[in-house]
A and B are shown apart, each in its own frame.
Chain A
C-alpha cells in the first residue's frame, strides 16, 4: 500500500504526511482493481467551521421540517410541509397545491436548474462541496468514524491491525451508529408524506403501512451504502452532476485552486535550498492538503473532476502557512483567469517559475498579483442568470398570490347531446365540477349567463327551472353536480347556443366561469 506510512517532521515542527492521492490520474488503477480506501484527516479552519454550520442547518431542516405545525383549520392537515399523495395535495406552509397546479412545481424545477447555473458559474461546485446530501452525510459518517476509531493515523493503524476484540468492538460500534443514522434518515423521509406524530406512533407500534417500512428500509440501505461504504465513489463514478457542473464552469468561476505561481518550485528543504541559492516556492510539500482530502486527490495537480470544492485543503494549507509565518492562500478559491494572470507574472521567459517575481523581499505577496474579488461573481453571465431566475420567481409568486381558489369545469353530455321533452322543450345535461380549493365549506351560487331562455334543474328535482342554484361544496374538495338546462326550442335561433356557467362564492367575491354550448336538438 502506498497510501499509508509514517509521518516525518520538518525542522519547524511541522507535520509532514507521506500520503499518496489515490485518485490521481497517473495512479488510477484498472477498473477491476479494488478501491483504495481514503482516510481523510480532520481539517480545522474557517471553511471547516462553515461546513459544520451548513451541515447543522441542512440536517436540521431535513429532520425538523415535518414536525413544524401550521394551523389550516379543521378541514386540512396541520403539518407545515406535507406531500399528501393519497389525497393528491401538496402543502407548504400557507400554500396548498392541487394536482392541476403542478406547474408550480415545474416552475420550481426551472428555478432549481437556473439556480444551479447561477451558483456554478459564480462560485463553482459549491453545491457539491457544501450542501449535496452525499457530502453532508459522508461528513456525518466521517464524524462517527473519527469518534469511534480516531483520526487518520489511528484509522490506518486499525485497518492494518489484525482482528482483535478491541478492533471488532470499534468496527461493530461504528457500523451500528452508521446504521442508526441511516435508519433515522430513512425514517425522517416518510414523515413528509403523512402526519408526522401519527405516523411515528404507527411506525413504533408496527401498524404503519408496509410502504412506510419499505421506504425506511430502502433509504436506510442507500444511506448506509452511499454514505458509509461508497463515499467518494458516488461522486466520481455514479453522479452525473460533476460532469454537468464541470461543463458550466468558465475561466471566471470560483474553484479551489492551488496557486502554483507562488507555491512552485515546492520543496521540503526550503532553508537548504535558499541557502544554496536555488529558488523555492511557498509550498513545503507537507501533503497536508492531500491528507485532508475526502476525494483522494492532490489539488496541486490542478482542476480535477473528483474535486468537490469542499475547501478543506484550503483550511489545511492555511494552517501550515500560518505556522510557517507565510501568507495564507497558497490554496484558495480563485479563478482560472486570475491564476493564468499570476502565472504569467511568475514565469520567466523559459517558462520556469521564479518565486521572487510574485513575492516581496519580506516574503509577502507582490502587489501586482491579482486576487479574487467580488467582480468574479458579479459579471454579465451571472447577472443574466440571476435576472432570469428572479423573473421566474417573481412570476410564480404573482401567480401564487393571485390564483383562484374556486374553479369550475363543465362536461356537456355527449350521448345524447340533447333530449326533447314531452312538452317540446329541449334539455341538455351537464356535469358541473366545482372545485373548492379552500379548507372551509363554501356555499356557491351557480348561475347561467347570456342565456335568458334557458333554466337549470337538478336531477330528481321537481320541474322548477331557474337561473340560479345554491350549492354547498365541502372544504378542499370537488363537487361534481349533474345539472340539466332546459329551454324552449322556439326561442333558439341557431342549432347551438353559446352561454356561460358562472359560479360565485356566496360569501365572497371569488368567481369562476365556464363557456358552454346548448344544443337545440336539431330537427327533432
Chain B
C-alpha cells in the first residue's frame, strides 16, 4: 500500500494520478450529484421491472406495465384513423364534383390521393404521374377515356381492359398487319397520313393513298380528322402526344400489331373513398377537364 499523498496547496488527498506534473485531487462528488446518481439507479431498477427490459433467449422480460412499442403504434394508428373517419365519411357521401366544390374536402382528398398514388399508381404512371412509353402521362391534357373528374373516377374504379370487372373500359384496335387485314403498302401509307395529321414530317406522295386507307379503316374509331373518340378510348392522332411513340416506325408497328394497355380496376380493392381521393388528385395535376 502506498502512502496517502496530500496536496500542499489544498490539503486534499490526491488520487495518485499524474499528468505532466498535474495531480488529480481526490475531492468527493458533490452530494447533490451523488443523490441524483443514486436516484438514477433506483429509477433504472424500477424501469426494468415496469417495462420490458432484460433480453432472454427468446424475446425479453415483459414488464409489469405490459407495454410494447408495437401496441403503442397500433393505438396511435387507430387514433389517426379515427381522426380521419369524419372526413372520409363526408367524401363517401359526396360525389367527386361536390368534393371539388369544397376547398376543405379538396385539400384532404388531394393529400390522401397523392399518398395513395405513390403506393398504387406510381409503378406504372411514375411517382410524378409523368407516365412512360405505353403508360399515359396524367399531367397533360390528353385523355384516352376522358379527363373530366367523373370520367377519371370511372377509369380508376373499373380499370381499362381489366376483364374481371364487367364495367371496365374496353376497346381493341384490330391488328391490321398481323391478321392480314391490310396490305403492307397501305399500312405504310396510313402511317404517313397519321404523321401528317399532327404536322410531322411525312411522305407527300403517300397522302392520297393514306387518306383513303384512313377513311376506310381508321376513321370509324379515331374520327374523320383523327381527333379520336373518348367513348372508345381511341387516341387523338392529331396532337403532339404519342403514347407509343411518334416515329413512322412506331406508328407502323402500332397499326400492324397494336399494343393495348391494361389497368386494374381499383374500386373493389381501395374502396369508394380512396378512389374519389385519387380522382381528385389526378384531376388536379393540371390536365383535368
Interface residues, chain A, CB within 8 Å of chain B?
30-32, 413-416, 419-424, 427, 429, 459-460, 484
Asked whether, in the complex, the Cβ of B288 is within 8 Å of the Cβ of A422, the reply is: no
Asked whether, in the complex, the Cβ of B141 is within 8 Å of the Cβ of A421, the reply is: yes
In angstroms, Cα B33 to Cα A31, docked, is: 11
Task: Name 9 A/B residue pairs within 8 A (Cβ), A-sorted.
Answer: A416-B128, A419-B137, A419-B286, A420-B240, A421-B140, A421-B240, A423-B239, A427-B140, A460-B284
Interface of A is mostly: loop
Please give the distance in Å from B220's CB to the nearest CB on chain A: 22
Residues of A within 8 A of B75 (CB): none
Asked whether, in the complex, the Cβ of B31 is within 8 Å of the Cβ of A32, the reply is: yes
In angstroms, Cα B185 to Cα A279, docked, is: 134
Q: Which among A32, A422, A459, A484 is the interface contact of B240 at CB below 8 angstroms?
A: A422
B66, CB-defined interface residue at 8 Å: no
Residues of B within 8 A of A460 (CB): 100, 283-284, 288
In angstroms, Cα B27 to Cα A32, docked, is: 10
In angstroms, Cα B129 to Cα A419, docked, is: 11
B130, CB-defined interface residue at 8 Å: yes
Residues of A within 8 A of B141 (CB): 421-422
B175, CB-defined interface residue at 8 Å: no
Asked whether, in the complex, the Cβ of B140 is within 8 Å of the Cβ of A415, the reply is: no
**A422 with B28, Cβ < 8 A, contacts A416-B128, A416-B130, A416-B139 known:** no
**A415 with B127, Cβ < 8 A, contacts A31-B27, A31-B30 known:** yes
Residues of B within 8 A of A422 (CB): 140-142, 236, 239-241
Q: How many residues of B contact A (CB 8 A)?
A: 24
In angstroms, Cα B140 to Cα A416, docked, is: 11
In angstroms, Cα B128 to Cα A419, docked, is: 11
Interface of B is mostly: loop
In angstroms, Cα B157 to Cα A474, docked, is: 38
CB closest chain-B residue, reference A413:
B128
**A415 with B130, Cβ < 8 A, contacts A31-B31, A422-B140, A484-B286 known:** yes
Interface residues of B in 124-176 (CB under 8 A from A): 126-130, 137, 139-142
Interface residues, chain B, CB within 8 Å of chain A?
27-28, 30-31, 100, 126-130, 137, 139-142, 236, 239-241, 283-284, 286-288
Please give the distance in Å from A33's CB to the nearest CB on chain B: 10
Residues of A within 8 A of B236 (CB): 422
In angstroms, Cα B27 to Cα A31, docked, is: 9
Residues of A within 8 A of B286 (CB): 419, 427, 429, 459, 484
CB closest chain-A residue, reference B128:
A415
Residues of B within 8 A of A420 (CB): 140, 240-241
Besides A420-B240, A421-B240, 17 new A-B residue pairs in contact (Cβ under 8 A), listed by A number: A31-B27, A31-B28, A31-B31, A413-B128, A415-B127, A416-B126, A416-B128, A416-B139, A419-B139, A420-B241, A421-B140, A421-B142, A422-B140, A422-B142, A422-B236, A422-B239, A427-B140
In angstroms, Cα B139 to Cα A168, docked, is: 81
In angstroms, Cα B281 to Cα A460, docked, is: 12
Asked whether, in the complex, the Cβ of A459 is within 8 Å of the Cβ of B284, the reply is: yes
Please give the distance in Å from A193's CB to the nearest CB on chain B: 26
Asked whether, in the complex, the Cβ of B28 is within 8 Å of the Cβ of A424, the reply is: no
Please give the distance in Å from A110's CB to the nearest CB on chain B: 34
In angstroms, Cα B140 to Cα A313, docked, is: 83
In angstroms, Cα B15 to Cα A372, docked, is: 48
In angstroms, Cα B122 to Cα A415, docked, is: 12
Asked whether, in the complex, the Cβ of B140 is within 8 Å of the Cβ of A419, the reply is: yes
In angstroms, Cα B288 to Cα A416, docked, is: 16
CB closest chain-A residue, reference B283:
A460
CB closest chain-B residue, reference A457:
B286
Please give the distance in Å from A489's CB to the nearest CB on chain B: 9
In angstroms, Cα B28 to Cα A30, docked, is: 9
Please give the distance in Å from A460's CB to the nearest CB on chain B: 6
- Give the one of A416, A423, A484 with max B CB within 10 A: A416
Residues of B within 8 A of A415 (CB): 126-128, 130
In angstroms, Cα B285 to Cα A460, docked, is: 9
Residues of A within 8 A of B28 (CB): 30-32
Residues of B within 8 A of A424 (CB): 239-240
In angstroms, Cα B239 to Cα A39, docked, is: 94
Residues of B within 8 A of A414 (CB): 128
Please give the distance in Å from B143's CB to the nearest CB on chain A: 9
CB closest chain-A residue, reference B33:
A31
Residues of B within 8 A of A459 (CB): 284, 286
In angstroms, Cα B287 to Cα A322, docked, is: 93
Residues of A within 8 A of B130 (CB): 415-416, 419
Residues of A within 8 A of B142 (CB): 421-422
Residues of A within 8 A of B239 (CB): 422-424
Please give the distance in Å from B276's CB to the nearest CB on chain A: 16
In angstroms, Cα B142 to Cα A416, docked, is: 16
Asked whether, in the complex, the Cβ of B240 is within 8 Å of the Cβ of A423, the reply is: yes
Residues of A within 8 A of B30 (CB): 31
In angstroms, Cα B198 to Cα A423, docked, is: 9
CB closest chain-B residue, reference A237:
B30
Residues of B within 8 A of A32 (CB): 28, 31
In angstroms, Cα B284 to Cα A305, docked, is: 69
Please give the distance in Å from B83's CB to the nearest CB on chain A: 19
Residues of A within 8 A of B27 (CB): 31
In angstroms, Cα B30 to Cα A31, docked, is: 6
The 9 closest A-B pairs by CB, nearest first: A415-B128, A422-B239, A416-B130, A424-B240, A419-B139, A422-B142, A416-B128, A419-B140, A422-B241
